[in-house]
Amino acid sequence: MKKARDCLLKTLRRSFLTLQNPTPKKMDPSERYCYNPILRWNPQVEEYFIKAYGAEHFSRISKALTRPSCYSCIRVNTLKTTGDAVIEKLLEIIQNSGSENAVNGVNFNKTDANVDSDVGHYNKVVPGRSDHVVKESLQNGTISKCQIPGLDYVVFVKGSGPHTIDYGYAPDRPPKEVIVSRKCAEAVLRGAQVYVPGVMACSSHVEKGDKVAVSVAIEQPGLDGGWGIGITRGTVIQGLQIDPYHSERSGLYIGQGTTMMSRAGIFRVSQGIAVDMNNRIFQLPSFHDVLEGEIFLQNLPSIVTAHALDPQKGERILDMCAAPGGKTTAIATLMRDEGEVVAADRSHNKVLDIQKLAAELGLKCITTYKLDALKAVCRKNESNYMPNMCSSKDNSCLTAQNSDSMKLHEEKVSSITAEQLNADTNCKASNEKGNERTYVSKADFRKNMRRLRNGPGRNQSLGGRVENSKGFSPNSFDRVLLDAPCSALGLRPRLFAGEETIESLRNHGKYQRRMFDQAVQLVRPGGIIVYSTCTINPGENEALVRYALDTYKFLSLAPQHPRIGGPGLVGRCEFPDGYVEEWLRPGEEEFVQRFDPSSPLDTIGFFIAKFIVGPKDA
Ligand SMILES: C[S@@+](CC[C@H](N)C(=O)[O-])C[C@H]1O[C@@H](n2cnc3c(N)ncnc32)[C@H](O)[C@@H]1O
C-alpha cells in the first residue's frame, strides 16, 4: 500500500515538474557537470537563522557547510611523539609515495583498507616519489605546525578544491554515471571511496574499469510537504533529460572515478568498493591506518575545547557524552595521563569505541562507563543502589550487573583501604616536594581500588566489557565537559539540512538543558564546566548559556585559552508562536567561542562556553 502510494507520489511529482518545465532547455554541460550545491533548510528554520545571522552571512554559512574544510587537522599524541617527528614521518611517507598522488591530494595510507561500509577509506601508496615533492610540501605549506600558542603539537595538512573536472561530456554522448546516496557523497567529499551500499543508480552497460561521473541524490521537496529523493536503488541512468532525477542532479557532481565492478556486480554484492574515486572535487589527504597511536585526526575546535577545560594533572574529570572519545583522549593527554578521566556515553558500542581509542593512544587514566547523562547524578533511593559501592573515593555507583565481580574483591578492598587512605592523606605533602612518583596519588588510589574490584583496566585487556553506572555523587568532579548531543548543523560537508524543524531544534535545547542540570550538580564548587556543541543553532548555544546563568546564580562565564573562535550572539529571537529565545547579554559575547564555518579559519561550526562554579550555597 505504502509502496503504491510512494510510486503514485513520485509519478505525480515528475508530471508536476514536467508541467512546470514542459520543454527542458538544453543545459550548458559546465553548469550541469559541476559542484555547486544549494543547502536546503526547513523554511521556518531558514527564517530563524536569517534573523540570527542576517541573510548574507547565513547564505555564506550555508555555502561553507556544503564543502569540507580544506585541510586536515592532526592532533599529535604528545605522550608518544612530537609534532616535528610526525611531520618528518609524514614527509617520508610522501617521499615514498607514488607520483600520481598530487601534493594537494596527499595520500598517506600505507595499505589498502577495504572497509566494509559505504563510506570507508581506501588508498594506496606507490613507491618512487621524488624529493622535490617533499620540499614543495613544506614550502607551499602543505604540512605545517599550528601557530596558535600552546597548540604547536597540532599539525595541518592542506588539501585543495573545489577542482573543475572534465567528465568527458560530448553532445549526444553523455558520460557514464553513478549516483550515490547523500551520506556516501558526504563521506566521498571527505576523502572516502564509493562503497557498494552507497550506490543508488548507475548507467546501463557499466563494466569494471569504466570511467564514471559520480553525482549525488539529495532530498527534494515532495508534494506531501515532506522530503524525498525520488529515486530507488538500482535505477538505470540513460544520460538523458528524461532520466529520473536528471534535473535535480545538476551541479551535484562530486568527482570522477573508475568502477571496480560492473553494474550487475554493484547491485548484486553487498560490500566492497564500487568506484575508485581518482579525480575528486576536493582533494584531501587521507590518514587511515597511518602513524596509528601517534596521531589522531580531530577538528581544531574539538582540540580547543579540551584546552578550554584546562584539565590539570591528578584531577578527576567527567566527560558526560564522550564517545567516540576524541575529546576524552585530548583531555587525558593534556593531563599527561595522570589523574582520572571518567568517560561516559549512553551507547554500549560507543563506549567500546572510547576504550579502543584510549588503548590505541596508550592512555591509562580513562575509565569508561555506559551511563545516561540525564541520570548522571547518583540517587540514593535507586532500587539497586549499593551504598558501599558509591564510595566517597570512587563516587561511581555501579549497577547490580557488576556486583558479582565486586563481591569477589570486596574483602581485599577493605583490607587495603586504611593503608591506601594513609597514602592518600600523605599525597599533598609529597606533592609539594614534587616527588610525584613515590606517593600514591588520589587518582592512583582510585585506580587501584577499581582494579581490585573490577579486575585489570577496562581499556586494553577486558575485550569489550562495558561497565554500567547508575551515576556519580554530587560535587565529585573537578571539571565536567558536556559535549552535548546536538543538531550537528555545523558539521561539514553537509548536503541537506531540511530534516531539522523549529520543534526538533527546541527539543535539542531541552535535552541539553536537562544534561546541563546534571553537570552542575556533579562539579564541585570552585570547579569548571565546559559546554560545547557542533551546531550553528543559537538555541543550543547562546540560549543554553542564558539558561545556565539565569538558573544557577553561582555560575559565571570564564575566559577561554586559546580563544580563536568569534564572539557569541547577543540578543533574542521572538518566534511567530510567541516563544522567546534569549541569547547572550552585552559583555558576555567575548567569553564564548563561536566557530563560524564561513570564517577564514575554515573549521566546522562549533560553540564553546566555559563556566566557573562558585559556592553552591551562596
Ligand atoms: C557530540 S557526540 C560526543 C563526541 C565526543 N565528545 C568526542 O569528542 O568524541 C555526543 C554523544 O552523546 C551521546 N549521548 C546522547 N545522548 C546521551 C545521553 N542521554 N547520555 C549519554 N550520552 C548520550 C551520543 O551517543 C554521542 O556519542
Q: What is the pLDDT of residue 382?
A: 55
Atom of ligand 1 lying closest to residue 486 CA: 1
- 150 is written with which cell numbers? 600552546
- For ligand 1, atom 11, the nearest C-alpha belongs to 321
- For ligand 1, atom 6, the nearest C-alpha belongs to 322
Residue whose C-alpha is closest to residue 535's, from 49, 54, 57, 51:
49
- For ligand 1, atom 10, the nearest C-alpha belongs to 485
User: How far apart (Å, rounded) are the C-alpha atoms in residues 373 and 470?
Assistant: 10
Q: What is the pLDDT of residue 242?
A: 83
User: How far apart (Å, rounded) are the C-alpha atoms in residues 437 and 416?
Assistant: 20
CA of 321 relative to ligand 1 center, distance in Å: 4
Which ranges of 120-165 would DSSP assign to H, the alpha helix?
Answer: 131-139
Sites in the chain below the pLDDT cut of 50: 1-24, 99-105, 109-131, 133-135, 383-394, 399-462
Atom of ligand 1 lying closest to residue 305 CA: 8
Element (H, E) at 444: helix 442-454
- 155 is written with which cell numbers? 599539525
Distances (CA, A) of 187 to 31, 184, 300, 318, 492: 23, 5, 19, 31, 10
In terms of Cβ atoms closer than 10 Å to its own Cβ (0-12, 13-18, 19+), residue 191 is buried
Cβ atoms 121, 188 nearer than 8 A? no
Residue type, 85: A
Residue whose C-alpha is closest to residue 577's, from 475, 506, 529, 522:
506
Range 99-103 contact pairs with CB under 8 angstroms and sequence separation of 24 or more: 99/126, 99/128, 99/129, 99/130, 99/133, 100/126, 101/125, 101/126, 101/129, 102/283, 103/133, 103/136, 103/137, 103/140, 103/142
CA of 270 relative to ligand 1 center, distance in Å: 30
User: How far apart (Å, rounded) are the C-alpha atoms in residues 339 and 351?
Assistant: 20
Ligand 1 pocket mutation pick from 303, 327, 331, 346 by most atoms within 8 angstroms of CB:
346
Pocket of ligand 1 (CB under 6 A): 302, 321-327, 345-347, 350, 372-374, 483, 485
Ligand 1 pocket mutation pick from 320, 341, 345 by most atoms within 8 angstroms of CB:
345
Biggest alpha carbon–alpha carbon distance for the chain: 87
Q: What is the pLDDT of residue 440?
A: 39
Active-site entry in 365, 397, 534, 573: 534
CA of 325 relative to ligand 1 center, distance in Å: 9
Q: How many CB atoms lie within 10 A of CB 483?
A: 23
Cβ atoms 102, 155 nearer than 8 A? no
Residue whose C-alpha is closest to residue 492's, from 602, 607, 599:
602
Q: What is the pLDDT of residue 275?
A: 98
Ligand 1 pocket mutation pick from 309, 321, 370 by most atoms within 8 angstroms of CB:
321
Find the distance separating the first CA and the last CA of the chain, reported in whole Å: 63
Atom of ligand 1 lying closest to residue 534 CA: 1
Strands 316-319 and 340-345 turn out to be parallel
164-168-171-173 Cα dihedral, nearest 10 degrees: -140
CA of 566 relative to ligand 1 center, distance in Å: 25
- For ligand 1, atom 17, the nearest C-alpha belongs to 346
Residue type, 182: R
Atom of ligand 1 lying closest to residue 488 CA: 1
Place of cell 535545547: 509
CA of 240 relative to ligand 1 center, distance in Å: 45
User: How far apart (Å, rounded) are the C-alpha atoms in residues 420 and 232?
Assistant: 65
CA of 494 relative to ligand 1 center, distance in Å: 20
| pTM for the predicted model, two decimal places | 0.82
Q: What is the pLDDT of residue 379?
A: 75
- For ligand 1, atom 27, the nearest C-alpha belongs to 323
* Residue 486 annotated among the catalytic residues of the structure: no
- 237 is written with which cell numbers? 541512468
Q: What is the pLDDT of residue 610?
A: 99
Crossing angle of helices 131-139 and 83-95, in 10° steps, is 140
User: How far apart (Å, rounded) are the C-alpha atoms in residues 408 and 506?
Assistant: 47
Which ranges of 227-347 would DSSP assign to H, the alpha helix?
Answer: 263-268, 300-309, 326-334
Cβ atoms 270, 50 nearer than 8 A? no
Beta strands in 489-534 (DSSP E): 523-533
Atom of ligand 1 lying closest to residue 532 CA: 1
Cβ atoms 615, 595 nearer than 8 A? no
CA of 485 relative to ligand 1 center, distance in Å: 5
Instruction: Determine the 3-state secondary structure of 125 from DSSP.
Output: coil
